[in-house]
Amino acid sequence: MTIHKEGYRILLVAILTWFVLNFGLFYLIPDWVIVRGLIALGTLVFFLLILQFFRSPSRIQTFGENLIIAPADGKVVVIEETMENEYFKDKRIQISIFMSPLNVHINRYPVGGTVVYEKYHPGLFLVAWEPKSSTDNERTTVVIQKENKVEVLMKQIAGAVARRIICYSKKGDKATQCGEMGFIKFGSRVDVLLPLGTKINVELNQTVKGGVTIIGTF
């Protein structure tokens, strides 16, 4: 397992903070051994939590021209027909995946093709499982057009804790299925909007793995 590049700066700050805090306490309260030990243990646990959050595990990914692959790790919280008003302006099938702070937070392209639309929307920070988070929260919308002209829309949505969306996609970019398209720090949600008639291969509350689990087929 490796550490994702988005975590380098935060982990460096966390390491420096750990050393400064614990060595500072050693000189300030040298006789409070138990207190210093508890603080050292607590800050170490906090560092390890940050470390696991930015992990980038090695996986055998799933590929297929007619397959739609999970864009993120997490739990399926929405499978429904909905009206998409930003890009398609018609009805689509929405699959939403909620990522807890314990999940891997790399976001991946569910299909291969070309990025034909990308837009950042400032907004609120409602909890990510709130239905209105799809339209009211801070988010980035990306549309991938496959070679056969079928288009898939993907949203990175910030939550109550996650307040930093990172999107690598730009209009005109080549999208490689399962390739990295972004990262959301500290918990969030990803929506995928698919054409009506798409066969859905997941169920509500199912746990999925980004780049591995097949969530639908054309």
Boundaries of every domain in the chain? 2-56, 67-217
**Active-site residue (options: 96, 134, 169, 188):** 188
What confidence score (pLDDT) does residue 126 get?
57
Name 95's Cβ contacts closer than 8 Å, sequence gap at least 6: 76, 78, 79, 191, 192, 194, 200, 202, 215, 216
Q: How far is CA 25 from the centre of its chain?
A: 37
pLDDT (tens digit per residue) in 146-162 = 999 999 999 998 865 55
Is 67-217 assigned to CATH 2.40.160.20?
A: no
Classify residue 124 as left (phi > 0), alpha (psi -120 to 50) or beta. Answer: beta
Is 188 among the catalytic positions? yes
pLDDT (tens digit per residue) in 36-75 = 677 777 777 877 777 777 777 888 999 999 999 999 999 9
Per-residue pLDDT averaged across 95-111, rounded? Answer: 90
What confidence score (pLDDT) does residue 3 get?
79
Per-residue pLDDT averaged across 191-207, rounded? Answer: 96
Alpha-carbon gap, residue 187 to 164, rounded angstroms = 10
- Other CB atoms within a 10 A radius of the CB of residue 164 amount to 12
pLDDT (tens digit per residue) in 175-186 = 999 999 998 876
